[in-house]
Amino acid sequence: MFIDSHCHLNFSAFDEDLDAVVHRAVEAGVDRIIVASVDEESSRKAVELAERTPQIYAAVGIHPQDAQKYAEESIRIFQDWARHPKVVAIGEIGLDYYRDYNPKELQVRVFKRFVRLAKETGLPIIVHNRGADSDVMAVLSDPRFKSVTGVFHCFSSDLSYARNVLQRGYLISFTGIVTFKNSESAAILRELPEEKLMLETDAPLLAPEPHRGKRNEPAFIKFVAEKFAEVKQISLDEIAKITTQNALRLFPKLRNAFD
């Protein structure tokens, strides 16, 4: 059994055939899917999907590229969602200096606000970090946020940063990028302990080989898992078991809601 720890079934790419997509995921052994959000609208949709689909769980938050949409009065709705039994995390939140859509100060302010929400609600965070290694770490190193835990999703930094992330108690997840030729992710993956890793698709983006360039979906998690197994030289079953345990440990509500 697999857990897709991060995808966006709340995006319009799935409007036409969501049920079929979930069905294919179940057929492929994916029994839990975390739908991550980028703004208030996608958060609402993630919660709705979680309410009507047993396999789906939600993460709510505002992506750095959507930081301009944040308004302090809207935090209340996120606080309400955080109490929902199927809302398992705050995310995706973080900093993205690669595309530079929003001023850094604004991104940092919104990121901090949602880390604070995570602290207040006891939920883990799903971190998006693109080209902002030191600023992301600066926010998370704030002593006020010591109790906060989470995952660095779609990890794209270097090995020394990965070690720093693990040392802070965070997990790391990789997408289909690990299956790409010339990807540096596989070399980093090789060096990291299995008990700190999770699988994700980030669907509809980043489809793994052999579907690269097409719409991604949670059923394709098996290609990511196969690459993990190859790189770590352990069986696919073992990868499924370990990454599932890691996800259940990080996201306690994922466990409770299912039992």
Q: Which residues bind Ni ion (CB under 5 A)?
A: 202
Q: How far is the CB of 8 from Ni ion (least distance, A)?
A: 6
Query: Is the Cβ of residue 37 or residue 190 nearer to Ni ion in the bound state?
Result: 37
Q: How far is the CB of 190 from Ni ion (least distance, A)?
A: 24
Query: Is the Cβ of residue 60 or residue 232 nearer to Ni ion in the bound state?
Result: 60
Q: How far is the CB of 143 from Ni ion (least distance, A)?
A: 29
Q: How far is the CB of 237 from Ni ion (least distance, A)?
A: 27
Q: How far is the CB of 144 from Ni ion (least distance, A)?
A: 26
Q: How far is the CB of 233 from Ni ion (least distance, A)?
A: 29
Query: Is the Cβ of residue 206 or residue 232 nearer to Ni ion in the bound state?
Result: 206
**160: helix, strand or coil:** helix
Query: Is the Cβ of residue 4 or residue 202 nearer to Ni ion in the bound state?
Result: 202
- Distances from the Cα of 128 to the Cαs of 31, 115, 181, 223, in angstroms? 24, 12, 23, 22
Q: How far is the CB of 154 from Ni ion (least distance, A)?
A: 7
Strand order in the sheet with 30-35: 2-7, 30-35, 56-60, 87-96, 125-130, 150-152, 171-174, 197-199
Distance, in Å, from the CA atom of 235 to the CA atom of 233, rounded to the nearest integer, reads 7
Mark out the alpha helices in 91-235 (DSSP H runs).
104-121, 133-140, 159-167, 185-191, 221-232
**150: helix, strand or coil:** strand
Report CA 2 to chain centroid distance, whole Å. 14
Specify whether the CB–CB gap between 181 and 160 falls below 8 A: no
Residue with nearest beta carbon to Ni ion: 202
Mark out the alpha helices in 12-129 (DSSP H runs).
18-27, 40-52, 75-82, 104-121
Residue identified by tokens 């509500």 is 253
Helix axes 221-232, 236-250, angle to 10 degrees: 110
Query: Is the Cβ of residue 151 or residue 254 nearer to Ni ion in the bound state?
Result: 151
Query: Is the Cβ of residue 66 or residue 167 nearer to Ni ion in the bound state?
Result: 66
